[in-house]
């Protein structure tokens, strides 16, 4: 039976949203000094065994971020999860059994299960009072005939990858531990009441179809958000195949990302959105404060000059804005009042939010279709990253996305018409265009 929760955290772990004002410092030196001082103070008060994971270098100090500890733990877990994805892709996807198919005919891989188990286990060790809302459960694994070799191989592979990467000082993880960790985020794990709640939202791999393509430029994202008393408070996205140029060329060149592959994007309410390259080794996390770069949405204020992105299952003519603009995917094509630049790359919703939050794209637009539910984990972390980067997210009437609309499960959202993410300069104009043509 689902456990009804009215979350009241123990006093040492009470999470209260305190919207901190992000003061833009006069120089990067002051950012480094302030953050380093904050980390040093926190580290001195923390057990040495958890300093590395829970107090990894963030671009703002604990004094500015009331959920600094939760964010630092999320960063460490997501980074491990990204390494797991890369290793699974390299070693397992060449085999005969690449993925399972769920009841909704969407694919799920060993990496999806492994990431959910890893992050679920680590968050439970650190924050046992905070439940998890996540995409997967182990039903399809458990439903396989126990004497089939495929079943044993899948569970063994998942357990092996998780056990090698999880931060665990206790006894080794059993297969049952791994399956239980997966199910902790499943649809039957927790039931909420209508009151504002505190919980994690996880998409273990957003863009599994892209992950399965095997191409180095196919974008997939590990996304984790923390909702506190009904408000998005923390977000972390890891994208192992992200390439250079994550910030808009119109922004300060000093904010450009260094050469490399893979990105980690973090956001904390009131403290902005920041990114740095993924580390190259699972136990050698990037900790230099210089690696963090502030993210800002694209400043474009002219609708036909903006850069638009949609998910690969959509076409431009499905969007209300197609009544105003034709589209081109060729960057060399001239743009005018009747034609916009469109990117329709392979990948899920979170990679599109990442593009908008980093300034690479100006607008992400998604159509809500009656035959397909819109899941909270496909949007939660993207919403806070865009908003803290100076953008806005809403449904097609301009209303904020309601992550509590599914009162008992917190798993589904119901945006009117669809979802729009963009900068503040374009937001009102685009909403007006959409509402004038969409019924």
Instruction: Say what the pLDDT of residue 248 is.
Output: 39
Highest mean pLDDT among 106-120, 281-295, 360-374: 360-374
Q: Is residue 48 part of a domain?
A: no
Pairing of strands 307-309, 339-343: parallel
- 413 annotated as ligand-binding: no
* Contacts (Cβ under 8 Å, ≥6 apart) of 69: 42, 54, 55, 62
Do residue 325 and residue 276 come from a single domain? Answer: no
CB 227 within 8 A of CB 233: yes
Q: Cα 107 to chain center, whole Å?
A: 19
Do residue 170 and residue 280 come from a single domain? Answer: yes
Q: pLDDT tier at 155 (50, 70, 90 boundaries)?
A: confident
Do residue 190 and residue 281 come from a single domain? Answer: yes
Q: Is residue 44 part of a domain?
A: no
Do residue 240 and residue 105 come from a single domain? Answer: yes
The pLDDT of residue 375 is above 70: yes
Pairing of strands 391-395, 418-423: antiparallel
Give me the number of domains the chain comprises: 2
Do residue 363 and residue 275 come from a single domain? Answer: no
Q: Is residue 309 part of a domain?
A: yes
- 148 annotated as ligand-binding: no
Kindly report, residue by residue over 269-284, the tens digit of the pLDDT: 999 999 999 986 544 5
Q: pLDDT tier at 124 (50, 70, 90 boundaries)?
A: very high
Domain that holds residue 373: 303-436
Please choose, from the candidates 176, 181, 169, the residue with its C-alpha nearest in 3D space to the C-alpha of residue 132: 181
CATH of the domain at 326: 3.40.190.80
Highest mean pLDDT among 93-97, 140-144, 177-181, 198-202: 198-202
- The H-assigned helical ranges of 25-138 are 28-45, 48-54, 68-91, 110-126
For residue 187, the tally of other CB atoms under 10 A from its CB is 16
Do residue 128 and residue 213 come from a single domain? Answer: yes
Q: Is residue 31 part of a domain?
A: no
- 130 annotated as ligand-binding: no
Active-site annotation holder among 109, 198, 208, 247: 208
- 122 annotated as ligand-binding: no
Do residue 189 and residue 336 come from a single domain? Answer: no
The separation between the first and the last C-alpha atoms of the chain, rounded to the nearest angstrom, is 40
Structure token pair of residue 133? 């809302």
Q: Is 208 a known active-site residue?
A: yes
Mean pLDDT of the 140-168 span: 74
Do residue 332 and residue 225 come from a single domain? Answer: no
Could you tell me what percentage of the chain is helix, strand and coil, using 3-state DSSP and rounding each to the nearest 5? Answer: 35, 20, 45
Mean pLDDT of the 365-393 span: 96
Mean pLDDT of the 184-193 span: 94
Q: Is residue 363 part of a domain?
A: yes
How many angstroms separate the CA atoms of 249 and 59, rounded? 22
Instruction: Say what the pLDDT of residue 93 is.
Output: 56
CATH of the domain at 197: 3.30.540.10
Number of H helices, E strands in the chain: 11, 19
Do residue 325 and residue 271 come from a single domain? Answer: no
Q: Cα 334 to chain center, whole Å?
A: 34
The pLDDT of residue 11 is above 50: no
Do residue 270 and residue 353 come from a single domain? Answer: no
Q: Is residue 25 part of a domain?
A: no
- 248 annotated as ligand-binding: no
Do residue 216 and residue 354 come from a single domain? Answer: no
Q: Is residue 229 part of a domain?
A: yes
CB 406 within 8 A of CB 384: no
pTM for the structure as a whole: 0.83
Active-site annotation holder among 53, 109, 112, 286: 112
CB 340 within 8 A of CB 393: no
Q: Is residue 52 part of a domain?
A: no
CA count, 13 A, side-chain hemisphere, 64: 22
Do residue 69 and residue 161 come from a single domain? Answer: yes
């Amino acid at each position: 039976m689902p456990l009804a929760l009215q979350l009241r955290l123990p006093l040492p772990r009470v999470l209260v949203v305190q919207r901190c004002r992000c003061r833009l410092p006069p120089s990067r030196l002051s950012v480094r000094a302030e953050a380093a001082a904050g980390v040093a103070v926190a580290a001195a008060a923390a057990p040495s065994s958890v300093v590395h994971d829970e107090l990894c270098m963030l671009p703002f100090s604990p004094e500015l971020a009331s959920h600094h500890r939760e964010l630092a733990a999320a960063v460490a877990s997501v980074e491990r999860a990204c390494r797991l994805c890369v290793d699974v892709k390299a070693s397992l996807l060449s085999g005969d059994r690449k993925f399972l198919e769920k009841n909704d005919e969407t694919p799920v891989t060993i990496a999806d299960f492994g990431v959910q188990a890893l992050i679920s286990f680590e968050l439970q060790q650190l924050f046992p009072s905070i439940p998890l809302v996540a995409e997967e459960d182990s039903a399809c694994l458990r439903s396989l005939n126990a004497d089939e070799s495929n079943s044993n191989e899948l569970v063994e592979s998942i357990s092996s990858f998780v056990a090698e990467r999880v931060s665990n000082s206790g006894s080794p993880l059993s297969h049952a531990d791994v399956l239980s960790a997966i199910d902790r985020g499943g649809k039957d794990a927790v039931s909420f009441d209508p009151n504002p709640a505190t919980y994690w939202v996880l998409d273990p791999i957003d863009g599994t179809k892209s992950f399965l393509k095997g191409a180095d430029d196919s974008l997939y994202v590990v996304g984790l958000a923390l909702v506190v008393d009904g408000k998005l408070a923390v977000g972390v996205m890891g994208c192992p195949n992200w390439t250079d140029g994550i910030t808009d060329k119109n922004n300060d060149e000093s904010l450009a990302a260094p050469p490399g592959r893979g990105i980690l994007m973090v956001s904390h309410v009131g403290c902005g959105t920041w990114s740095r390259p993924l580390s190259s080794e699972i136990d050698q996390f990037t900790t230099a404060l210089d690696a963090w770069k502030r993210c800002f949405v694209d400043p474009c204020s002219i609708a036909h000059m903006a850069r638009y992105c949609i998910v690969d299952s959509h076409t431009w003519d499905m969007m209300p804005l197609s009544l105003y603009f034709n589209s081109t995917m060729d960057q060399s094509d001239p743009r005018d009042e009747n034609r916009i630049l469109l990117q329709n790359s392979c990948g899920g919703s979170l990679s599109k939010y990442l593009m908008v939050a980093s300034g690479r794209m100006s607008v992400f637009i998604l159509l809500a279709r009656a035959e397909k539910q819109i899941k909270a984990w496909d949007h939660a972390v993207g919403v806070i990253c865009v908003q803290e980067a100076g953008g806005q997210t809403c449904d097609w009437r301009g209303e904020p996305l309601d992550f509590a609309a599914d009162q008992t499960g917190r798993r589904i959202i119901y945006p009117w018409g669809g979802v729009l993410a963009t900068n503040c300069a374009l937001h009102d104009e685009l909403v007006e265009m959409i509402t004038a043509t969409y019924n």
